[in-house]
Chains A and B, each alone.
Chain A
């Protein structure tokens, strides 16, 4: 197939015009992704802060107050009240006033002073089990710290302590550093897929695609011409988003830009390719939009953005292998936090490029195949 540069440029210009001519569509391409990055960057965090909790303390001693103070003093928890009885505690959890309730028995201080084990009941609201599980972990580490100080020394037991030396790449364990690059990946996928996902479908719906097919342009030229706007818009948008992540959110960028942009190139190839494939399959814009959606939502869920891929069952892990976002998120996070270069990222580049090329070939085949 011979590609004529002149014809491709002509089609690409026409595509750019139809994408950007309308002020409203210009605005939705640029504004919302940046706003979303800002809002979600602040909103999406696994670092618990101010988790409301109540205490029902039946112990009058010093140690129980010290124990509670460790929770109340932690930035993760916020004590919103001492309750007089078990019933009030139950109501506080039932009505979602608190996520955690601590019930300290009357023997707490005396048990500890006599070297016996004191049992403390922690009640969590399991309706939001995700946060409950996180809060449980936080509570447990506070209890562990409390215990560590009270464990008998030199009791003949070879004791030891766990020392967390370092958390590599993210010393303060800020989940924002992990999530903001993830949001950048999602938004890049969204913009590039939407600007291509409807492009062929729109022409089909209006009937102008048949006209395009009878021009001297061959499917390869149509493909490149149609792919270019999504590619360029996606690349510009990604650059803007990455700049906000670095300059506004101060996520450290320790890798190399060539490695990141090579990854972005491969990712856009696959995102635009899949977008074009869906678009070529769709007969109306509605089908194009819904198809884009049916692809994009699972792609985001299975990308490892919010839950680690390693925790998924094996069968689902195999499905994630065809998810371009999976690879791009690794590239983004490795470039931002781990200082990865091109050589370390090869295992991510080639699957993206393969997905891109295969989907583009299928899309070009579908151009003629679905005439009428």
Chain B
């Protein structure tokens, strides 16, 4: 391997990057846009859920319950005169749930002490429906305690669950979305940057020109990897700065561990992109495969949005070949918890295996031959 030839190849690739600014855009504009959208836009915390309230027979008791809903920040109750208009509101999407106090509510509450509050939710978004149900239960318990206090009786719920959420006590959704998102962005950057570079040379016919040079296989591969590695780490640095200084996500682990883990991950992602590029030979196929094999799996199967434990066993096994899975775990731990070595070592091991696999396959499949 000749250092001079390698430097020459790196310079050539660097010129390609500078000449077509789209790869610089992917390294810096994509993180900027996505972090802003996620950091400010995406949240699973519902506020002001529109609720249709139907009270068949208004009394002081029903008024106090509706008042409790109104004072809750989760709900935005609207009164409807009957069940039919409320159901229409639910169908149109103007209400997410119906709370229905039937005509015998007050009588049953005062006599038997078991008066039903009927709830109908729109179940299309099952997760949202479940959240609404929990909030309603909370409002109901608060109302009950308040009523009891008014009667001079102290009843409180028999069991009070004191929830503590470690590492993110305020449950700021930004704090966990941003590290996970950086993992997804880096997956994109890594694969997209390299996915096209070898396929492009085949398609444009410049590969033949390179073949007649004395440059060896390793020099060619390193010449492709190194410039994009530098660009990718630039994107990582940029994303981390945004996370820490703009979104105020705590960085509790050490920077050296973060740099080491990111380098390992980026190498894996670039290796995968390079392998796709070598196998595909056409930019269309390479681009399609890069998107299908990287972005969507990283988005859905990495544990960033959906819990891996809840997936069927077969799908859980599949997540082990998705590099983003390890990086999501690493970043969430490094940012929010600190240097927890058991997690860092096991995830880095997973990454290292994938990295060797992708780069090894890339070396084997990359031939200086026309066929």
Residues of A whose CB lies within 8 Å of any CB of B are 22, 24-25, 28-29, 32-33, 36, 39-40, 42-52, 67, 93-96, 99, 112, 117-134, 136-137, 139-141, 143-144, 146-147, 150-171, 173-175, 177-178, 186, 190, 194, 198, 202, 205, 282-287, 289-291, 293-294, 296-298, 300-302, 306-308, 310-313, 315-316, 319, 333, 337-338
Contact = CB atoms under 8 A, between A and B. Distances in A.
Given A45-B310, A112-B159, A301-B37, A144 B42 contact: no
A42 B42 contact: no
A156 B152 CA distance: 10
B126 A178 contact: yes
A216 to B, nearest CB: 28
Given A119-B162, A122-B164, A137-B131, A45 B306 contact: yes
Contact of A316 (B34, B41, B61, B125): B41
A156 B153 contact: yes
Interface in B327-367: 329, 332-333, 336-337, 340, 342-343
Contacts of A306: 42, 305
Given A158-B61, A169-B124, A297-B34, A137 B307 contact: no
A173 B147 CA distance: 32
B115 A160 contact: yes
Interface string B10-22: 0000000000101
A159 B280 contact: no
Contact of B119 (A146, A163, A178): A163
A89 B316 CA distance: 25
Nearest to B296: A36
Interface size class of B (residues with CB under 8 A): 35 or more
Contacts of A310: 46
Contact of B301 (A39, A155, A283): A39
A144 to B, nearest CB: 5
Contact of B285 (A28, A49, A160, A307): A28
A313 B38 CA distance: 11
B228 to A, nearest CB: 12
A189 B161 CA distance: 44
Contacts of A296: 291
B269 interface: no
Contacts of A44: 300, 305-306
Contact of A293 (B167, B200, B291): B291
A301 B46 contact: no
Given A286-B22, A293-B291, A50 B310 contact: yes
Contacts of B309: 48-52, 99
Most B C-beta atoms less than 10 A away, residue of A24, A139, A316: A24
B136 interface: yes
Contacts of A28: 285, 288-289, 292
B219 interface: no
A349 B163 CA distance: 45
B50 to A, nearest CB: 9
Contacts of A337: 124
Contacts of A170: 123-124, 126, 129
B288 to A, nearest CB: 4
Most chain B beta-carbon contacts within 10 A, residue among A42, A130, A198, A205: A130
B292 A151 contact: no
A35 to B, nearest CB: 8
Interface stretch (B137-145, B208-216, B240-248, B260-268): B137-145
B72 interface: no
B168 A298 contact: no
Interface string B205-235: 0000000000000000000000000000000
Given A28-B285, A289-B192, A46 B126 contact: yes
Given A42-B315, A124-B163, A128-B303, A94 B337 contact: yes
Interface string B164-206: 1111110111011100000000001000100010001001100
A163 B138 contact: no
A169 B126 CA distance: 10
A272 to B, nearest CB: 16
A2 to B, nearest CB: 32
A162 B119 contact: yes
Given A22-B285, A28-B285, A161-B117, A126 B109 contact: no
A43 B315 contact: yes
Contacts of B307: 45, 48, 51, 128, 130-131, 134
Given A32-B289, A312-B43, 8 more contacts: A125-B166, A127-B168, A137-B131, A162-B140, A175-B127, A282-B22, A285-B284, A293-B26
16 contacts: A22-B284, A43-B315, A51-B307, A126-B168, A126-B175, A134-B307, A140-B161, A143-B161, A144-B141, A151-B157, A152-B155, A155-B113, A157-B155, A161-B117, A174-B126, A285-B284
B133 A141 contact: yes
B133 A121 contact: no
- Which 5 A/B pairs are nearest by Cβ-Cβ distance? A126-B168, A167-B123, A170-B123, A316-B41, A46-B127
B258 interface: no
Given A126-B169, A144-B137, A289 B283 contact: yes
A160 B134 contact: no
A313 B41 contact: yes
A98 B332 CA distance: 15
Given A45-B306, A93-B166, A94-B340, A139 B161 contact: yes
Nearest to B328: A128
Contact of A112 (B45, B158, B280, B340): B158
Contacts of B287: 194, 198, 285, 289
B288 A32 contact: yes
Nearest to B19: A284
Q: Which of B61, B113, B329 has the most CB of A within 10 A?
A: B113
Interface centre among A151, A282, A307 (most CB of B within 10 A): A307
B369 interface: no
A290 B292 contact: no
Contacts of A40: 296, 300-301
Given A39-B301, A157-B151, A118 B91 contact: no
A146 B288 contact: no
Contact of B305 (A50, A130, A150): A130
A248 to B, nearest CB: 14
